[in-house]
A and B are shown apart, each in its own frame.
Chain A
């Protein structure tokens, strides 16, 4: 690092804005370069003086009424119930005792409304075969047969359920 580079970095070091790699390089350079070390010490001293001066002036200020004045102003500020509720919601340590039931209630409402909507409007389901096709589908709850075989036909196009028997027996004939 050159002296020019070092002197450019000294103010940044005092402001705490240097990365650790730059800080390390500057300090290493200062230990080997007397002019730069001197410059660094002078700036440190200047910063201390400014800081001391500001602190001295601040100490002279009377801040005894600072917080009472703020509290007095806050006292006149009327927060709406909505704002207070939102503040409590965002900051309360026990808010989850209410939030979890609230989430559950919201989910229950959505599910409930969906069910109500579904059962009140069953006809809104898409009808792939068109509205004019009557629904002749049937649910087979139980089926027994003495025939050779039975086929259950469920045709989506006509929305019809049918049973088809395969039975070679003709009435009056020997099977």
Chain B
């Protein structure tokens, strides 16, 4: 089998291809380095879920499908919503129902994902201490903390700020 033609073409394309790869790498590096991601906006929502009634809070429209599929409740009510701009490495604390406290520490932005430490405290008791990498503008859910009239579902999101 004569591979002269394909190999020669491949060799010639090597210069072009590797140059393109280098350019792409430079572009990717520039894409990460260029935006001045000085801070991140952290979103916290506290939702009371229960099986008493069939209320679905209109402010939770963007999460309707997730709640229907993931959780076995008929009623969802947003009881608290808060946004806070936090510098990278800074801390943002949020009081949530039940005397609980959520602490969020954004760490870094890499591959279009925000890495952040999330702690949910019940008094001094850490019921969750986790580090997650979440896509920019996405929402992460933590459910299960009991309330007298249902359970609490926390929605935590992050939006980078340029």
Contact = CB atoms under 8 A, between A and B. Distances in A.
B128 interface: yes
B10 A138 contact: no
Interface residues of A, number: 51
Nearest to B97: A171
B20 A119 contact: no
Contacts of A168: 146
What is the predominant secondary structure among interface residues of chain A facing chain B? mixed
B148 A170 contact: yes
A146 interface: yes
A167 to B, nearest CB: 6
A56 interface: no
Nearest to B157: A136
A172 to B, nearest CB: 8
Interface string B30-71: 000000000000000000000000000000001001100110
* A-B pairs, 7 with minimum CB distance: A106-B10, A165-B144, A162-B141, A109-B17, A142-B131, A105-B14, A139-B133
Given A105-B11, A138-B133, A155 B70 contact: yes
Contacts of B28: 119
Given A109-B10, A136-B135, A155-B70, A163 B130 contact: yes
Contact of B135 (A116, A137, A144): A137
A118 B147 CA distance: 47
Interface in B137-162: 137-148
B24 A147 contact: no
Nearest to A109: B17
A158 B13 CA distance: 42
Contact of B125 (A86, A89, A143, A146): A146
B126 A146 contact: yes
B46 to A, nearest CB: 14
B79 interface: no
Contacts of A113: 13, 17, 20-21
